[in-house]
Structure formats: C-alpha cells, structure tokens
Structure 1
Amino acid sequence: MSRRPFRSGKSYGKLDRDGFIHRSWIKGTGLPDHVFDGRPIIGICNTWSELVTCQFHLRDLAEHVKRGVWEAGGVPIEFPAMSLPETQMRPTAMLFRNLLAMEVEESIRANPIDGVVLLGGCDKTTPGQLMGAASVDLPTMVVSSGPMLNGKYEGRDIGSGTDVWRFSEAVRAGEMTLKEFLGAESSMSRSHGTCNTMGTASTMASLIEALGMSLPQNAALPGVDSRRKALAHLTGRRMVELVEQDIKPSQILTREAFENAILVHAAIGGSTNAVVHLLALAGRVGIDLTLEDFDRLGREVPLLVNLMPSGKYLMEDFCYAGGVPAVLKEMGPVLRREALTVSGHTQGEIADQAQVWNREVIGTMAEPIGPSSGVWVLHGNLCPNGAILKPSAASPELLTHRARAVVFEDIEDYKARIDDPDLPVDETSILVLKGCGPKGYPGMPEVGNMALPPKLLARGVRDMVRISDARMSGTAYGTVILHVSPESEAGGPLALVKTGDTIEFDGPNRRLELLVDEAELARRRAEWEASREPSNFTRGWYRLYIDTVLQADQGADLSFLVGKSSADVTRESH
C-alpha cells in the first residue's frame, strides 16, 4: 500500500545511524522490523490513574484503541500524561490544567508520532489534553472515559455531587442523620467512570462531540458499557484515516464548531466550568471567543436535557435517550450543520441519523425541559470584565435581588465563621467570598457554591445569592455568581467589598453593582494596596502560574501559551 511520507519517518524511516538508534530503542518494546515500513505512528495519550475513578479503566480502553489502529494499518504507541483527579488533588485540580496542557503539547511535539488519541475523563483532564494537542495541530481524536452508572440509594437514583450537596445541607439542617449520609457513600459511585450528573466531566465530553473532536455517542456511553470499547476500537481505526488524510484540529475547531459547543452547552444545562475551558481552547487555536458569545448564543436554545443538577435524570438515562446526537437533532435550524467532525461527517449529517428515545429526558425546541439556559454573563462595577451565573440551577425568585453583603476575605475566613450563630446574616443577605480566583487561591477552586449558615438552614432557607471569584462544581446548584473578573487578588473591585455594603443583582438585565460611591471605593483601594503582602508562593509551578495566568474571562490559560503553535521542533535529534 502506497502511503504519503509521515512525520514519524524522520525518525523511523532513515537508513542511517539516526534511524538505527530510533528503531533499535523502540524495538525493545517488542515491535518487529516490518512495522517500520512507512506506516503511521499513532500516539495514545493516556491519563490512566488509580487515584481517580474516572480514568481507572483507561488502560483497558487503550487496548481497544490499539486494536483499531492495528486493523487500519497503523502502529499504536501508548504514552502517559498526568491525571487530574478533581476530588483528590490539592489545592485544586484547576491549578494543574495548564500544566497538563503543557505536558501533552510537548510530549506530542517532541516524539515521532503522526497523530494522537486522547484518553481522559475527569473535569480538567479533557480540556487540558485537548488544549495541548490543539497547540501542536497533529491529527487528534478524543475517547472519553464515560460516566459511571446511576447511583442507587434506598430505591431511588442519586447523582454524583448534586446529591452530595443536597444531603450535606440536610445533615447540617438536622433533617438527615450522619449514618444515613454515610450510607449513601458507596451507593453513589457504583462503577468506574466520571460523575453521572451533567457535571463538568460529562459537560466537557458532550462538548467534545459538539466540537466534532470525537465519534458520535462519546459523551454518554457509560464507562462500563461494552459499546464504549467498540467506540475506542473505531476511534483507533478512524485515527489512521485522519493521519492519511492529514485532517488536523485546526480544520475541525472552527468558529462554527465553538458556536455548536456553546449551543449544546445551553441545551444540556452544562457546567459553568466549560466557559473557562472553551475560552482557553479557543485561545490556543486563534478563534476570537468571548464571554458575550456564551450569553448571546445561549439565548438561541432552551434547556433540552432533563439531567441533574438542572433536572431529574442522570447520564445513563441520557445515553439510553439518544445522547448528544439526539440533542443535535432537536436543535434543528439552530445547529451549525456544516461544521466538520473527525468522523468525516458534518454535524448536520450526524443529527439527521439520530433518534430521541425518551421525551422525559430530551425535550424539543417547542416543548423544552426549561427556558433558555446556558449562562448569563453579568457586568457592572463589581465585575468590569464579567461574571457568570447558571440560571437553570438558580432560584427564580433570587434572580433579581438587592441586599447587604456578608463578606469573607478568603476560604479560611469563610470556614472559620460560617457556622457561627452570631454571624450577622439573614435570609436576604448576599454572601461574598474573596481570594479564590486564578491567582488568589491559586488555581480558582470550586468553592463558589458556599454552604449556607446552619442557623438559616434551620429556618428552611435553601438558597441565597452568593458571589465570588471562584468556580463551582458542575454538579452543584444555587443562585451562585461566579468567575468575577478581575479577581480580588488582581485588584478587582471584589477586593473592596465590605460587610454591610449593598449589592444589586439584576439577572434579566445582566447587571451586578456594588452600591458604594466612587470616593469611598478610591479610599478603600489605597488602603488595600498599602496593606498588600508578598506572595507565599515563591518557586516552581505555583510561581510560574501566578505570574502568568490570565483572568477567568480569558480562560485562565497562561499568557505565553495563547496563540497558534505547530508540530515543528526546534532541532532535529542527533
């Protein structure tokens, strides 16, 4: 079979000393002579780890990718990348998303491979891997690890994260015993795979499909479903074809692809974390994407998917109802149909072949699950560069609210005082948390959905307006204003808020205002600047991150990683 010259031929195709060295060392893994006859080398970037349920089965999936690669005449070579277990890493997995992206980028660029299959799943793993691969722009496909099975507890379904928050509040309110709470622990995570709610992991897997970077049904097939293994096999086979056709991420990740991702994000009631990830990915491939695009495009489609935390069902139900292709079908004329995908088909062609099997899980544009969802992008003197809120997870009666602030200077201050019966708070108050943005924590942790004061929980209060420069878990809910930009650590107005200040939130008009006069704010700023202390982080990744990370409205990528790169290396090996 005649093939065009591949990138890997510069290492494995030379009949000289350098070729001898490259072939000889890789033959130590058991590869025979004849596989170096000009076949494409397919890298399999695997984030397998025993530290995270999400990716525990990726070794097995990698073997199925390899089968497909061999079948199509390629040579699969697996290599590792760091895993980012959301629930395990300290201080927060988001601190290391960009580090993973750098590792993946340099691993792909430096090694003699012609294309890459990305195996990931947990929240920051998927965007980190794709950011790195997109920066190199070799043919790329994604196989997500898939969601875990539905949680089952006392005869009913329970969802990862979402029910954790609900049960925790019930314990703090005295409505659930600690024994009952702990009894749900093993019932919630019954298999390997990502969270079974529409949290960040499932959201990002869905958006990978919407972007066109995976085969159809990648997002919803459970991690333990044999069809995911088959999808991995088919991905390996298709990956060889992509290399032979030289179809790169830059041809898939177009403006139309990002618009589809934002539209699907709104339709599925996706995680707010997707906003920073899509902004960062767009920055890597030179697409001009802004916060305003999320608000504007999100108005085009209502909530079509009835999944926790915005609805009732879980990812296993979403799979059986038709998954992402079914959502694309229901989006109808809103879908950017001509957007190309790695499958070789357009999104319109994929939508045309889809079916909806359960109308309780996936609604229609005419009869949606809920009103226009997505995210609201707020502006005002408290967030000059923007802040976001997920309306489908909020309390309608709080979407317009004016009240006095109760301020926590950082997460330690919050933890120390939130349970204090003397905390000056009532059900109308607005909770404000500082010091949790990209630079401030550092890493922008998922603490924006602050647990409510026990004394209010005891009165039956279940939601309050909460404002911070932090993120929140995609499994969480509440009237939570997030990603306030600039963050307090960067000198944003959030740093100047004090307990007792009046804040006005007007969600329908997208406004967030601190009602303090400019003279007083100027006085507070001078006081704040005079009292600043040097950072405690003086070395290593923390220092590099703090010095170069961008704000949330720009995707929280590192400043020197934004913009197109290439697969070129600066020096040939010797």
Structure 2
Amino acid sequence: MARDNESSAKRQLRSAQWFGSADKNGFMYRSWMKNQGIPDHEFDGRPIIGICNTWSELTPCNAHFRKIAEHVKKGILEAGGYPVEFPVFSNGESNLRPTAMFTRNLASMDVEEAIRGNPMDGVVLLVGCDKTTPALLMGAASCDIPTIVVTGGPMLNGKHKGQDIGSGTVVWQLSEEVKAGRISIHDFMAAEAGMSRSAGTCNTMGTASTMACMAESLGTSLPHNAAIPAVDSRRYVLAHLSGNRIVDMVHEDLRLSKVLTREAFENAIRTNAAIGGSTNAVIHLKAIAGRMGVELELDDWNRIGRGTPTLVDLQPSGRFLMEEFYYAGGLPAVLRRLGESDRLPHKDALTVNGQSLWDNVKDAPIYNDEVVRTLDNPLVEDGGMCVLRGNLAPRGAVLKPSAASPELMQHRGRAVVFENFDDYKARINDPDLDVDESCVLVLKHCGPRGYHGMAEVGNMGLPAKVLEKGVKDMVRISDARMSGTAYGTVVLHVAPEAAAGGPLAAVRNGDWVELDAYAGKLHLDISDEELQTRLAEADPTAASREIASTGGYRQLYIERVLQADEGCDFDFLVGCRGSEVPRHSH
C-alpha cells in the first residue's frame, strides 16, 4: 500500500508532464537534460526542485549565493529530490539606477514565467538585497507551487574608530555631520571600508532585514532564516535543511496559497511594528498579497499594527545591529514575546515546515533583554506604522514612528517646496533658501510614475544652515520612499502622487501644512476650492508623459504601475495565475 501511495504521488508531480512519458516529447526533454551528465534514474519520478538564484556580482549583497545554492542542493539530493538551479533578474538596491524598485515588477515577471514554463515541482527562492525578496515571492505567488525562502543573511557589524556602525544608517548620519561642519570629508571617507566588511545585506533593520523578517513571519521560511549572519556557518545549515524541507513540501502539496493567507499577512503587519521595520514593507506586503488574491488594505496597518510596541532595539530606530539580534534569539524571540502577551494575531497560521507559527516559537530562547526588549520596557510604546490621510493624501501616506522624533509627531509648519529631486539637490544648501527648523520640507514628483520606480529620496537631508544650528530632524513629506536604513520624521508614499495629479502637486512655498501622526492627519491649510483651482492650472502628469514617450520598459512601467497604496505592482500582474503547464511545441 505504501508503494502504491508513493507511485500515486509520483504520477501527480508537475515535472512528469515533461519527463514522465515514453513518447517523442518525453524523449526530447530527457535527452536534452542528459547532456549535463544526468543518469536515467534521476527521471524516475523524484521531485524536481528549482533553485531560483539572484546571485550577481552587481548585487554585492547576494554575491555569496553560489555557495548557499550548493548547500541547498545537498539538502535536496539528501531528501530524494533533484535540484536544478536557474538565474533570474537580480535587482540589488546598492548599484541599480534609478532604483531597484523600478525593476521589482520586472524581476517578478522573470520569476513567474521561469517557474511556470519549466519542469519543477517546487522552488527554493534565494533572496537577499531589498527587492529580491518581494520580487521572488510575488512571482512565486502568481504560480502557487510549493515554495520556501532562503535569505542570504545580513553582513557582520560595521566597524569605525573602534565602534560598531550600521550599514546605510551611518552614511546618513556622517553625511549630515559633514554638512554641519562637525567632521571633515576625510573622517567621512574613512568609514567607507569599515561599513561593509563581509558578505550579506545591510546589518541594520533596513528593508532587506525587514523583508527577511516578513518572509519568516509570513511562514515562508524556516525559523531563524531572517537573522543568521551571512558568513555564519549556521546560514549554510539552514540552506541545507531548507533543501530537505522543500522535497517534503512537494509530497505534501504544501503550496504558497496554504501559507500566504490573510492571517499570515496580519501576523506580518504586527511583526513589522515589533521589529521597527521599514516603511517599504507596506508596499511589498500589499504587492505579495495582491498576487495571492488576499485582500490587504493600507488601513489594515492602522487596525492591526497600531498599539504594538517596538521591542527590537536596532538601528536605525535603536542601538544594535543584526548580529546582536541573532545572538539575542532572532525573530523567534520577538514572536514569542508577542505571542505570550496575546499580541500575535494568528498563532495557528501554517508555516512551510508544516508546523504553526506558534509551535515554531513558543519555546524560543531569548538571550538578551536589551536587544529584544520586554513588553514593559519597549523601545517605542507604539511602533505600528502610522497611516495618514487628509486633503494632502486622500489615499494615504505612511510614517514610521520608531524612527521619528516624538516632538515632531504633531507639527504645523510652513512649506518649503521642491518640485523634483533635481530641484532639491540644487537648492537645499543654498544659503539664501528661506527655511528654518520649524518648516516642512515638501518634495514632489518622486512617486512611482514621477521618478520612475519611486526612489528612496524621501528622507531628504536637512539644509546645511539648519544642521549648523545642531538641529537633527525636520518634518519631511513626499510621494517618494526612503531606505529602511534611514530615520527621521518623514512622511512617505503620499497617494496619489504628484505625477498622477495628486494634491501634493498643488503645494506652494509658504503654505501651511499640519501633521498629526497620532490622529492620522496630513492637512494642507487651503480651501478645497483653492486646491482644485491650483490642480486645474497645472499639468502635473506632463513630466511622466514625456518620460513614457521614450518607450521601452520605462514606458510600460509608467503606463501600468499602480499607486503606492496599491503596492506599486503592474495592474495586469495582480492575481494568481497558477502553474498550469503551457502547451509544448514539439
């Protein structure tokens, strides 16, 4: 009977539609694969596991993935599967211009079609730098086959002048110090070599670490995947075990749709607040949910996340880095703290190891109460993402309270307006700029269409004349994103964006803007009539139309990208299209 069940499982394998027949097509598919030295018995019905690799020397965060892939292969072979590694577009934030967000959807299309069109029964996603995690999960979700995530891990702590420094965060800090005249350019440059001193992603709670935590809290990876340092041998053990597990997932038919449920996303939203995660997670989780057909709205971040304390004391919100986070217990420690205080919404959510999220973490050790704080001693009392609305953001905007200045969470100031990022760069340090620390910096035309890809420029550096006074934060508002490594009282993702005719396009120098993060309010102090008159007089979409006329992927992006509150996916990619095998051509 066991043998009959095994045979039944093998007949159901997706790869059998390529390799399982004794006709002309089966002959050709097997024969072509055999030119790699594959023997007959590898085609006996064992699961074919794809290893989707974002390795690239142009994506330095992922440059060690060849070695990780080898450990995944060992695990797959050990469990009775056959591994096939394949490359996909590697969109690393570190080098790609104008921003890796511009190609997130392109990479997801690459992943989706590679999975659907090739003989694989399950897939291991090798992810790391910021956008590779959402891109690969989006593509895999559209196919819905058994899938497990293996992250490359964060780099070791940076070192400078005998102190730990955080990748990304230290750049923003020291750059402001140079502008303020407190350190020399030589001191600034001296930190460069020490910031990134091993393989891996940013060692702060930037977008890469945030999305690794999101993948783990969603249940798409094994426990501890998010935080093990890239060069720690335990990273390779996890890769090996993930290779083991994906083979079992194929036999169990444990597809992504059974893991990426509405409940899983609610767990992830709560987790993001507890870790002080990046604002970029708002956009990426919405896009992943959209591919899975799960309803997730911007207001869910208020409903589920607000009131959750930030427990992880990590830069840019706090003091420590990802090494300390892992040594303190990693994400399982955070999830245990949430669960023990009844703040984990859905303990029974299924994960890829076949256990519930709570079963995975209920006995997790917690080694350091400074790094992973207790509920009665949080880093921030309410770390849930603030969703703001008002006449300036009718479809919403976001603010990260754990990285903001408490005294600026309620603020009314005079607008200093920059029409685009070039305008900002040209004027921000002009001694004649009419600005002081009470003003509100407003940046337009940097949203999905306006600065194709919605670049991470929303954390505008402060004017030199303000920095020289010792001021370190001002309210900043834009339709852009910001790096998860950045900090400050920064309002982002204003929707609709200026280039889509949103109210942000109407803001003028000298207007008064009111922010009340506690009340979720973002208001431009002019009448509705004046606002409509200003928008009618302008043509805010002209710039994006001009860019679109150049053709190519850029035109596709501008014409079909959704707004920030919708996840910035392409409208034609939303939804799960399944893994039905396309007709063969032989």
Superposition deviation, residue 295 in structure 1: 1.5
Is 1:350 the equivalent of 2:357? no
Partner residue, 1:536: 547
Partner residue, 1:550: 562
Distance 1:28 1:499 in 2: 67
Give 2:117's aligned amino acid: A
Partner residue, 1:486: 496
Alignment of 1:440-455 (within 5 A): 440-455=450-465
Distance 2:309 2:547 in 1: 45
Of residues 62, 67, 70 in structure 2, which corresponds to 1:55?
A: 62
Q: Deviations over 1:36-65 (max 9, x none)?
A: 000110000000011122101100000000
Q: Using the TM superposition, name which of 523-532 and 419-428 deviates more.
A: 523-532
Give SS of 2:227's match. coil
Partner residue, 2:523: 513
Give SS of 1:563's match. coil
Superposition deviation, residue 34 in structure 1: 0.8
Is 1:461 the equivalent of 2:484? no
Give 1:540's aligned amino acid: G
Q: Deviations over 1:528-549 (max 9, x none)?
A: 1399364223311111111110
Partner residue, 1:568: 580
Alignment of 1:98-137 (within 5 A): 98-137=105-144
Partner residue, 1:401: 411
Give 2:354's aligned amino acid: G
Of residues 229, 233, 242 in structure 2, which corresponds to 1:226?
A: 233
Distance 2:289 2:540 in 1: 37
Q: Deviations over 1:419-473 (max 9, x none)?
A: 1100111111100000000011111000000011101111111110000000000
Distance 1:282 1:191 in 2: 33
Give 1:415's aligned amino acid: K
Give 1:567's aligned amino acid: S
The TM-score with structure 2 as length reference comes to 0.97
Distance 1:135 1:280 in 2: 11
Whether the aligned pair in 2 keeps the contact of 1:139 and 1:239 (CA below 8 Å) is yes
Partner residue, 1:334: 343
Give SS of 1:334's match. coil
Distance 2:540 2:74 in 1: 62
Q: Deviations over 1:201-251 (max 9, x none)?
A: 000001101000000000000000100101000000100000011100000
Give SS of 2:393's match. coil
Q: Deviations over 1:245-289 (max 9, x none)?
A: 110000000111001100110000000000000000111111111
Distance 1:337 1:366 in 2: 22
Give SS of 2:514's match. strand
Distance 1:210 1:142 in 2: 12
Give 1:334's aligned amino acid: R
Partner residue, 2:39: 32
Give 2:290's aligned amino acid: G
Is 1:145 the equivalent of 2:152? yes
Superposition deviation, residue 519 in structure 1: 2.4
Distance 2:116 2:540 in 1: 45
Whether the aligned pair in 2 keeps the contact of 1:301 and 1:365 (CA below 8 Å) is no
Superposition deviation, residue 110 in structure 1: 0.2
Give SS of 1:20's match. helix
Of residues 281, 287, 291 in structure 1, which corresponds to 2:298?
A: 291
Q: Deviations over 1:406-427 (max 9, x none)?
A: 0000001101111110011111
Give SS of 1:371's match. coil
Whether the aligned pair in 2 keeps the contact of 1:337 and 1:348 (CA below 8 Å) is yes
Is 1:318 the equivalent of 2:330? no
Q: Deviations over 1:366-411 (max 9, x none)?
A: 3322211021000000000000000110111111111110000000
Partner residue, 2:288: 281
Distance 1:218 1:549 in 2: 31
Give 1:337's aligned amino acid: K
Partner residue, 1:200: 207
Matched-pair identity in %: 60
Partner residue, 1:522: 532
* Aligned CA distance change for structure 1 residues 531 and 205 (closer, same or farther; 3 Å): closer
Is 1:417 the equivalent of 2:424? no
Partner residue, 1:559: 571
Superposition deviation, residue 300 in structure 1: 4.2
Whether the aligned pair in 2 keeps the contact of 1:504 and 1:514 (CA below 8 Å) is yes
Give 1:546's aligned amino acid: I
Distance 2:179 2:147 in 1: 47
Distance 1:422 1:114 in 2: 63
Whether the aligned pair in 1 keeps the contact of 2:307 and 2:381 (CA below 8 Å) is no
Distance 1:141 1:411 in 2: 39
Give 2:279's aligned amino acid: T
Give 2:397's aligned amino acid: A
Give 2:22's aligned amino acid: L
Give 1:158's aligned amino acid: I
Superposition deviation, residue 503 in structure 1: 0.6
Superposition deviation, residue 29 in structure 1: 1.6
Is 1:210 the equivalent of 2:217? yes
The number of aligned residues is 574
Superposition deviation, residue 517 in structure 1: 1.6
Partner residue, 2:395: 385
Give 1:479's aligned amino acid: T
Distance 2:462 2:308 in 1: 32
Superposition deviation, residue 200 in structure 1: 0.2
Give SS of 1:403's match. strand
Of residues 500, 504, 528 in structure 1, which corresponds to 2:514?
A: 504
Partner residue, 1:160: 167
Is 1:473 the equivalent of 2:483? yes
Distance 1:555 1:278 in 2: 8
Q: Using the TM superposition, name which of 395-404 and 514-523 deviates more.
A: 514-523
Give 1:109's aligned amino acid: R
* Aligned CA distance change for structure 1 residues 531 and 553 (closer, same or farther; 3 Å): closer
Q: Using the TM superposition, name which of 516-525 and 372-381 deviates more.
A: 516-525
Whether the aligned pair in 2 keeps the contact of 1:468 and 1:484 (CA below 8 Å) is yes
Partner residue, 2:373: 363
Distance 1:268 1:528 in 2: 42
Distance 1:383 1:549 in 2: 18
Whether the aligned pair in 1 keeps the contact of 2:547 and 2:555 (CA below 8 Å) is no
Whether the aligned pair in 2 keeps the contact of 1:263 and 1:300 (CA below 8 Å) is no
The TM-score with structure 1 as length reference comes to 0.99
* Aligned CA distance change for structure 1 residues 20 and 310 (closer, same or farther; 3 Å): same
Distance 1:158 1:150 in 2: 7
Q: Using the TM superposition, name which of 134-143 and 21-30 deviates more.
A: 21-30
Distance 1:529 1:452 in 2: 29
Distance 1:350 1:531 in 2: 49
Give 2:179's aligned amino acid: R
Distance 1:354 1:568 in 2: 40
